[in-house]
Structure 1
Amino acid sequence: METQELHRGRLIDHIQLVVKDLAASRKFYEAVFAELNIPMSGSGEDFFWADELFISTPDSEAAQGELTGRHHLAFQAKDRAMVEAFHRAALKNGGRDNGAPGLRPYHPGYYGAFVLDPDGNNIEAVYHGEAQRSAPSVKVTF
């Protein structure tokens, strides 16, 4: 699949997770991305991706090197309600609780929720509190 549009301007360009059960991961990520208003971008027989996250099987051509351990990913949420919806969707779609929605001591206003995805990766949705952005992202069209 050819990429026609990207959104850039955030910290991470992309992350790849290699998973054991692609169908279970697809169900989980499609559900939590729906709650976070992140559209699915593409898929193939042994991979799928959304925004900067690429998920594949160990047999995918994109999965190179030795398989590694657990990872932590944090997705941006627009408000506390979105963090809570993320948590509910994750638990209903194969995720396990790893920290219910609530304030965290990282900085004032940090409101997050943590779940373990089907492969044990620590997945978070976070709302950093009231702030102003100059733009939601930088849109790059090819």
Structure 2
Amino acid sequence: MMDHLGIQVADVAAAEDFYLSVFGPLGLREYLRYPVGSSFVVGLGGPDGQPDFWLSPAEGDETRELHIAFVAPDRAAVDAVHEAAVTAGVSVLHAPREWPEYHPGYYGVFLRDPDGHNVEAVFHGGPPAG
């Protein structure tokens, strides 16, 4: 249903560093960049090669918290995002766990990005085998 999402950030370079280092285990990478004023806009995306997550410079102060969830291929990838976040000193809102109140098998980690947004890596599969 959704084609792409763009968010405005205080510092595009810092936001890009955050998203690439923390969500790199999910295959997030830069696909497109172009200058805008004294900054730039960057299009990030996953293994499909489509830039569907865009970061651009904010024109004013951010006043709302966004929630953005990235799909993980399995629980190990969610755990890898958590590990990357801890290594980078990122604020962890909720460590990886199953969230049965959402639906059985919902496994996610919730983090705080540099602009204060609640970002998540989630796997919608079942519990681990065994």
TM-score, normalised to structure 1's length? 0.72
| 2:14 paired residue number | 24
Q: RCO greater where, 1 or 2, for CA within 8 Å and sep 6 or more?
A: 1
Code of the aligned partner of 2:19? Y
| 1:4 paired residue number | none
> How many residue pairs align between the two structures?
115
Residue 120 (structure 1) aligned to one of 116, 121, 125? 116
Per-residue deviation, 1:48: 1.1
Shift in CA distance, 67/120, structure 1 to aligned 2, threshold 3 Å = closer
Per-residue deviation, 1:27: 1.0
**SS of equivalent residue, structure 1 residue 87:** helix
Query: Counterparts of 2:120 and 2:103 in 1: how far apart (Å)?
Result: 16
Query: Counterparts of 2:121 and 2:93 in 1: how far apart (Å)?
Result: 12
| 1:85 paired residue number | 80
State the superposition RMSD in angstroms.
Answer: 2.0
Does the 8 A contact of 1:28 with 1:94 survive in 2?
Answer: no
Query: Counterparts of 1:13 and 1:93 in 2: how far apart (Å)?
Result: 30
Code of the aligned partner of 2:53? L
Percent identity of paired positions between Structure 1 and Structure 2: 42
Code of the aligned partner of 2:104? P
**SS of equivalent residue, structure 2 residue 115:** coil
**SS of equivalent residue, structure 1 residue 41:** strand
Per-residue deviation, 1:120: 0.7
| 2:56 paired residue number | 56
Query: Counterparts of 2:115 and 2:71 in 1: how far apart (Å)?
Result: 21
Moved more, 111-120 or 46-55: 46-55
**SS of equivalent residue, structure 1 residue 120:** coil
| 2:23 paired residue number | 33
Query: Counterparts of 2:18 and 2:107 in 1: how far apart (Å)?
Result: 21
Query: Counterparts of 1:94 and 1:47 in 2: how far apart (Å)?
Result: 25
Q: Deviations over 1:101-128 (max 9, x none)?
A: 0100211111000000011110000001
Query: Counterparts of 2:41 and 2:91 in 1: how far apart (Å)?
Result: 23
Code of the aligned partner of 1:18? Q
